[in-house]
Amino acid sequence: MKQETIRHSLAHLLAYAVSELYPGIKFGIGPAIKNGFYYDFDFKNPISNEDLPKIENKMKELIKQNIVFKKKNVSKNEAKKIFKNQPYKLELIKELPGKIVSIYQSGEFLDLCKGPHIKSTKEINAEAFKLTKTAGAYWRGNEKNPMLTRIYGLAFDTKKELEEFLKKEKEAEKRDHRILGQKLELFMFDEEIGAGLPLWMPKGEILRHIIEEYLYEELKKAGYQWVRTPHLGNLNLWKTSGHWELYRENMYSPIEIENEKYLIKPMNCPFHVKIYQSKIISYKNLPIKYAELGTVYRYEKSGVLHGLTRVRGFTQDDAHIFCTPEQLTEEVEELLCHGFKIFETFGFKEFNIYLSTRPEKYAGTIKGWEKATNVLKYVLKKLKIKYQVDAGGGVFYGPKIDIKIKDSLGREWQCTTIQVDFNLPKRFNITFINNKGKKEKVYMIHRALLGSMERFIGVLLEHYAGALPFWLSSEQIWLIPVGSQHIEYAREVSEKIQGLQIRDVIKDENETVSKKIREGEIKKIPYLLVVGDKEMKNKTVRVRERGKGDIGEMELEKFLKGLEI
Ligand SMILES: [Zn+2]
Ligand SMILES: [Zn+2]
């Protein structure tokens, strides 16, 4: 709370400094945010990041003056007079309830604000804040309103914390999957196609394919059956499932085909339910596990779209498990263990686990919720997994476990959800024949492990800063012949490499060796093998390993044996 108050007070000081440096400026609002604060301004002449040090220095001057924050309650009429040249403030005053509004005075600067604030700038550590960037922001987030300039600042308790944060941010910037995706030619976006709709380029598709193939095999071994379902479904289906009623704001408008309405699917669940329903299922057949790499489309505001991690169309590694009530515990346990094993294969070992419980609006009975929640708790405890409870954070149809993976920078990424569902089995009336020959409601578990292919690949790129493990690299080895007379030998080597199902490329363009090496390093190729006279004569290769550089001349067989394949 204290930190938030300091951050918000810094926002006032930012506005104060700006008003001193740019007379006649119009003010928007300036709240505290995570790690800092911002303030929105309407500048006569737009400013840029280069102007920030000047403003920051002015703020530091103000802080030194031990400026006091004073709260005053004034009538709305008085407030209107005070802010007569501030159209945005006037708009806010008009909308505030009651007749009295509170304002804060710090030095010459007055702001409409309900507080709280620090007593004086003595409480601020002038070394522990920094203005970071400017950005355009519509007044009140509405694109019909004027575009204001938002100045962002960071603020911490100590200079050390600020420096550490900046360092981490810089590291994160280097790992930005949007930039890496372009540099490594994995995926792209195109304005004419539309926002949030990624295109997978050849190398990106190879990466996806590697992951998909791995999942196909891995899930098959774990007893899943792969299915595939269409991208559209009749509106009636979505009415039955409850999506039309409860999930409509995330779906795109219906498409009309022969007087019937169809919706693009935001989820795969109802389709899998239909496959389950196509046969009479005995308890002896359960559990049944259907898996699909199902591409779904959900409405996201354009402002929140972000590279691959927030998109409008994505492919879930989705699965639905149908089981008897008695099997629920075992299935959840298996799911979790299997999930951790898969994550480990991709190099993730640390997780934060959340258990989300019954929200205000819910389907099913309290008793049912308790039972399912207890199953989830029991499994977490049995596996000795530490978790946090997100009270009321469950989806309307059942409690869930979320797994957030921690990347190499310690950042959390939401990937897995495991949800127990009371809603769909009831709505679609899906049953099995129990051991007494009677129909009984089946239990249904939804689970997406990686979450979506798009998001997961984004996370992988950030985790590894683009230097993906050997098995995930779309181009694993580059062969670099020194001169044209070595191309033939490079081809010989290539044949042997391909015999081991390794993906290689012969770089026979007319470029210098050093240029090719540099390019290979930029593209984060795991191994660059240079072959010239000596290597051709000795039947060897000169190996450059990613991150290590030249590791010497080696017999090809020996090099290939040493690869982790
Ligand atoms: Zn304030
Ligand atoms: Zn589902």
Q: How far is the CA of 143 from the centre of ligand 1 (A)?
A: 25
Lowest mean pLDDT segment, chosen from 103-112, 223-232, 366-375: 366-375
Q: How far is the CA of 134 from the centre of ligand 2 (A)?
A: 41
Helix/strand/coil percentages in the chain, nearest 5: 40, 30, 30
Q: How far is the CA of 288 from the centre of ligand 2 (A)?
A: 14
Q: Tell me, yes or no, if 400 is annotated catalytic.
A: yes
Q: How far is the CA of 322 from the centre of ligand 2 (A)?
A: 11
Q: Tell me, yes or no, if 261 is annotated catalytic.
A: no
Q: In this model, does residue 401 exceed pLDDT 90?
A: yes
- End-to-end Cα, the chain, rounded Å: 52
Write out the two tokens for 398.
Answer: 């059942």
Greatest Cα pair distance, the chain, in angstroms, is 93
What mean pLDDT do residues 450-456 have? 95
Q: CATH number for 475-562: choose from 3.50.50.60, 3.40.50.800, 3.40.50.720, 3.90.1150.10.
A: 3.40.50.800
pLDDT at 565 (0 to 100): 56
What mean pLDDT do residues 239-261 have? 92
Close Cβ partners of 222 (under 8 Å, ≥ 6 residues apart): 289, 334, 338
24: left (phi over 0), alpha (psi -120 to 50) or beta: left
415: annotated binding-site residue? Answer: no
pLDDT band (50, 70, 90) for residue 371: confident
E-only strand ranges, 380-483: 388-390, 400-406, 412-421, 431-433, 439-441, 443-452, 477-481
Annotated active-site residue in 58, 175, 400, 486? 400
The bound ligand whose nearest atom lies closest to the alpha carbon of 15 is 1
Q: Nearest 5 degrees, angle CA 413-CA 419-CA 420? A: 165
pLDDT at 542 (0 to 100): 96
Q: Tell me, yes or no, if 337 is annotated catalytic.
A: no
Rounded to an integer, what distance in angstroms lies between the CA atom of residue 235 and that of residue 231? 13
Annotated active-site residue in 320, 338, 455, 463? 320
For residue 31, say if its preceding peptide bond is cis, omega within 30 degrees of 0. no
Annotated active-site residue in 243, 338, 358, 446? 446
Distances (CA, A) of 172 to 311, 417, 463: 20, 25, 9
Q: In this model, does residue 364 exceed pLDDT 90?
A: no
- Mean pLDDT, rounded, of the chain: 94
Lowest mean pLDDT segment, chosen from 110-114, 201-205, 246-250, 327-331: 246-250
269: annotated binding-site residue? Answer: yes
Q: Tell me, yes or no, if 320 is annotated catalytic.
A: yes
Q: Tell me, yes or no, if 58 is annotated catalytic.
A: no
The answer to whether the beta carbons of residues 314 and 307 sit under 8 Å apart is no
Q: How far is the CA of 421 from the centre of ligand 2 (A)?
A: 9
The answer to whether the beta carbons of residues 76 and 99 sit under 8 Å apart is yes
Q: How far is the CA of 112 from the centre of ligand 1 (A)?
A: 7
Q: Which amino acid is at 325?
A: P
The answer to whether the beta carbons of residues 467 and 442 sit under 8 Å apart is no
What tens digit of pLDDT does each residue of 121-154 get?
999 999 999 999 999 999 998 889 999 999 999 9
Lowest mean pLDDT segment, chosen from 362-366, 520-524, 555-559: 362-366
Rounded to an integer, what distance in angstroms lies between the CA atom of residue 553 and that of residue 534? 9
Lookup result for tokens 């000169």 = 542
Q: In this model, does residue 80 exceed pLDDT 80?
A: yes
pLDDT band (50, 70, 90) for residue 1: low
Rounded to an integer, what distance in angstroms lies between the CA atom of residue 450 and that of residue 459? 10
Annotated active-site residue in 316, 327, 419, 476? 316
For a pLDDT cut of 70, what percent of the chain falls above it?
A: 99
Annotated active-site residue in 177, 203, 298, 542? 298
62, with CB counted inside 10 A (0-12, 13-18, 19+), is buried
Domain boundaries of the chain, sorted by first residue:
2-171, 182-225+265-463, 475-562
Cα pseudo-dihedral 433, 435, 436, 439, rounded to 10: -20
The bound ligand whose nearest atom lies closest to the alpha carbon of 12 is 1
CATH node for 2-171: 3.30.980.10
Q: Tell me, yes or no, if 463 is annotated catalytic.
A: no
pTM value surpassing 0.75: yes
Q: In this model, does residue 395 exceed pLDDT 90?
A: no
pLDDT band (50, 70, 90) for residue 562: confident
> For residue 441, which of 453, 456, 423 has the smallest C-alpha distance?
423
pLDDT band (50, 70, 90) for residue 253: very high
What mean pLDDT do residues 234-261 have? 93
The bound ligand whose nearest atom lies closest to the alpha carbon of 446 is 2
Q: Tell me, yes or no, if 298 is annotated catalytic.
A: yes
pLDDT at 247 (0 to 100): 86
What mean pLDDT do residues 55-83 have? 95
Rounded to an integer, what distance in angstroms lies between the CA atom of residue 168 and that of residue 409? 8
Rounded to an integer, what distance in angstroms lies between the CA atom of residue 470 and that of residue 191? 33
320: annotated binding-site residue? Answer: yes
For a pLDDT cut of 90, what percent of the chain falls above it?
A: 86
Lowest mean pLDDT segment, chosen from 54-58, 160-164, 395-399, 406-410: 395-399
Q: How far is the CA of 347 from the centre of ligand 2 (A)?
A: 26
The bound ligand whose nearest atom lies closest to the alpha carbon of 318 is 2
pLDDT at 564 (0 to 100): 65
**Computed over its alpha carbons, how large is the radius of gyration of the chain?**
30
What mean pLDDT do residues 155-184 have? 93
Q: At what angle do helices 328-345 and 202-221 cross, to 10 degrees?
A: 140
H helix intervals, 83-223: 87-95, 159-174, 177-183, 202-221
Class of domain 182-225+265-463: alpha beta
Rounded to an integer, what distance in angstroms lies between the CA atom of residue 250 and that of residue 257? 21
Using a CB cutoff of 5 Å, list residues around ligand 1, an ion. Answer: 113
